[in-house]
A and B are shown apart, each in its own frame.
Chain A
């Protein structure tokens, strides 16, 4: 189902994290950039790849391999230190488990806020509202502040909003690991549905390799900030599970 249109393009992307021993040094570095030393950590080091519309790609890698940083840069919440990134399409992301809720607002208020920030009109939101509430299975908690939610509830609500707002590029970063297996199943079915129906591009990061293999055709394996393999999912799985990458 993938078309020829490239929706995500990374060319020689590098991302440097400056690690300072403490906050005071970091503040000083704003005023005296040359005088303050820091530890340089290249979280992403010269990564290039292209993803076409409708592809579903899994990214494997141990913690610290740079997966999340790549997803953040695609979402546009982190900026590359070097290199170029082109992203074409509305990105819907569940980064680090939560969709980014205001903890003082209720679930329902967060639905509105989040959809408004995605550029939806009020009448579009009220149409989507009920299906989001139903999908999230939060019950009467929907009118409670999200600070009272458990991590599973936050992930469910975040997922529900993201799949119900017609994403073009859908990014799932470990977001399903907190839900129970039945809810995971439901989400994955829904993801499959939108991939097939709307030609949505999926990027999937998980440690649950079995699920990734079921959903994705292509796998990227990352190690220490570099992409060490890019190809069919089965081969990526074999390499990653064998530790030989």
Chain B
């Protein structure tokens, strides 16, 4: 608990610098290329096109599925958009300390805040992508409604979980590149095991497996985004899902604090 309060305190003391660093992180990601900001949109657009082509046009999933009256591509986008953020956070979040090693080894800087500003910079890109998503729905004739109010809540949930993840994973990545490679290998698996391409609620599986699948925070977020855009469900209408998520978030936070307490003194020596 003391460690937790210390880290919160560091965030408050360094808040201005964190915003500047988040801004620099974005500038850096997109300034080196001729198309600059366009890449933030092009990469997801290509992925969505490929999946839409394979599943909607090729496999004709739209004929059999029930997407609450929405076309497959909109249903797919609603769940896929948060995945782009999550995917980046899995790998780049795990690499945050290595990427910003100069903040660790060259100056006095609270290393616990590094994952936070990396996640902030990714969140801004995500918010822009969600704006485009809303426009996309409009183009199909679906106007934003009151359920959109839930979007910030799900964003914050997702963001918090991945800040804690990055905190934990980036510390371990410093200790060994093996961990980073492990994460890289797992990302694809996590994508297919989570409820992004299918709806976990309608799967015909035993109850225990169902609960395990619902504990997956990726599934929670993808479901949440679909509840907003497609199914029109409020978060309190699925209280168990939210409870599972809070438990998993608490566990992730515990792991992050454990890793921080154990490693923060050693990190500058090994980077």
Contact = CB atoms under 8 A, between A and B. Distances in A.
Interface string A95-123: 11011111011000100110011010000
Interface residues of A, number: 31
Contact of B175 (A27, A76, A116, A145): A27
Contacts, number: 79
In the A-B complex, the 3 residue pairs with the smallest Cβ-Cβ separation, listed nearest first, are A100-B106, A27-B176, A100-B102
B34 to A, nearest CB: 15
A78 B17 contact: no
A102 B176 CA distance: 22
B17 A116 contact: yes
Given A100-B103, A104-B28, A116-B17, A77 B175 contact: no
A72 interface: yes
B104 interface: yes
Interface string A43-80: 00000000000000000000000000000100111110
B270 interface: yes
A30 B175 contact: yes
Interface size class of B (residues with CB under 8 A): 20 to 34
A77 B104 contact: yes
B55 to A, nearest CB: 37
B16 A27 contact: no
Interface of B: 16-17, 20-21, 24, 27-28, 31-32, 100, 102-109, 172, 175-179, 259, 262-263, 265-266, 268-270
Interface of A: 17-18, 23-24, 26-27, 30, 72, 75-79, 91, 93, 95-96, 98-102, 104-105, 109, 112-113, 116-117, 119, 145
Contact of B268 (A30, A79, A116): A79
Majority DSSP secondary structure for residues of A touching B: mixed
20 contacts: A18-B269, A23-B175, A23-B177, A24-B176, A27-B175, A27-B176, A75-B107, A76-B108, A79-B265, A93-B107, A99-B107, A100-B102, A100-B105, A102-B28, A104-B28, A116-B20, A117-B17, A117-B21, A117-B109, A119-B17
Contacts of B108: 75-77, 91
Given A24-B178, A117-B21, 8 more contacts: A26-B175, A27-B178, A78-B268, A91-B108, A101-B102, A116-B16, A117-B107, A117-B109
